[in-house]
Structure 1
Amino acid sequence: MRCSTPYSDAGAINAVSQIKLFIAALPATSAASDDVRSYDMVWLLHLIGDIHQPLHATERISAINPDGDRGGNEVNVMPATGETVDLHGYWDRMFGGYVSVPGAIYDANDKAGLAKVQVDGTKAKVLDPDMWTQESFVLGRKFAYAEPVLSEGTVAVLTRRYETDARNIARSQAALAAARLANVLNEAFK
Structure 2
Amino acid sequence: MNKSLLIASLPLVGALTVDAHAWGASGHRTVAKLADRYLTEEARAGIDEIIGSDNKLWELSTWPDEIRSDANTWRHTFPWHYVSIDDHEDIHGDFPRSSRGDILSGIDTMSQKINDSTLSTEDRWQALAFYVHFVGDIHQPLHVGNRSDRGGNAVRVDWFGQRSNLHTVWDSKIIDHWDLSFSELVEALDENITLTAHESAQAEPIEWAAESMILRNQCYERLDKNDGDYPDLGYEYAYYNGELVKDRLRLASYRLAYQLNTIFAAD
TM-score normalised per structure 2: 0.55
- Report the secondary structure of 1:74's partner residue: coil
Residue 149 of structure 2 aligns with which residue?
A: 69
1:92 to 1:185, Cα distance in 2 relative to 1, 3 A: same
Residue pair 1:149, 1:158 contacting (<8 A) in 2 also: no
1:136 to 1:107, Cα distance in 2 relative to 1, 3 A: farther
1:150 to 1:157, Cα distance in 2 relative to 1, 3 A: closer
Tell me how far apart the structure 1 counterparts of residues 205 and 189 of structure 2 sit (CA, whole Å): 22
Summarize the alignment of residues 139-150 of structure 1 with structure 2, pairs less than 5 Å apart: 139-141=215-217, 143-148=218-223
- Report the secondary structure of 2:150's partner residue: coil
Whether 1:162 and 2:232 are equivalent positions in the alignment is no
Q: CA deviation at 1:132?
A: 0.8
Residue 45 of structure 1 aligns with which residue?
A: 132
Tell me how far apart the structure 2 counterparts of residues 178 and 39 of structure 1 sit (CA, whole Å): 19
Residue 62 of structure 1 aligns with which residue?
A: none
Tell me how far apart the structure 1 counterparts of residues 235 and 254 of structure 2 sit (CA, whole Å): 29
**What letter corresponds to residue 128 of structure 2 in structure 1?**
M
1:56 to 1:150, Cα distance in 2 relative to 1, 3 A: farther
Q: CA deviation at 1:170?
A: 1.1
Cα deviation, 1:127-151, whole Å, max 9, x if unaligned, reads x22211111111102x111232699
Q: Which moved more, 1:9-18 or 1:83-92?
A: 9-18
Q: CA deviation at 1:44?
A: 0.8
Q: CA deviation at 1:26?
A: 2.3
Cα deviation, 1:89-113, whole Å, max 9, x if unaligned, reads 111113339xxxxxx8536236xx2
Q: What is the root-mean-square deviation of aligned Cα atoms in Å? A: 3.4
Residue 55 of structure 1 aligns with which residue?
A: 142
Summarize the alignment of residues 2-41 of structure 1 with structure 2, pairs less than 5 Å apart: 6=84, 8-9=95-96, 12=99, 13-28=101-116, 31-41=118-128
Identity of aligned residues (%): 26
Higher RCO, 1 vs 2 (CA within 8 Å, ≥6 residues apart): 2
Residue from 162, 171, 196 that aligns with 1:83: 162
Whether 1:121 and 2:198 are equivalent positions in the alignment is yes
Q: Which moved more, 1:11-20 or 1:129-138?
A: 11-20
Cα deviation, 1:119-170, whole Å, max 9, x if unaligned, reads 99211111x22211111111102x111232699xx41133654322322111
1:148 to 1:159, Cα distance in 2 relative to 1, 3 A: farther
Tell me how far apart the structure 2 counterparts of residues 90 and 117 of structure 1 sit (CA, whole Å): 29
Q: Which has the larger radius of gyration?
A: 2
1:150 to 1:45, Cα distance in 2 relative to 1, 3 A: farther
TM-score normalised per structure 1: 0.74
- Unpaired stretches in structure 1, ≥5 consecutive residues: 60-66, 98-103
Q: CA deviation at 1:189?
A: 0.6
- Report the secondary structure of 2:211's partner residue: helix
**What letter corresponds to residue 22 of structure 1 in structure 2?**
M
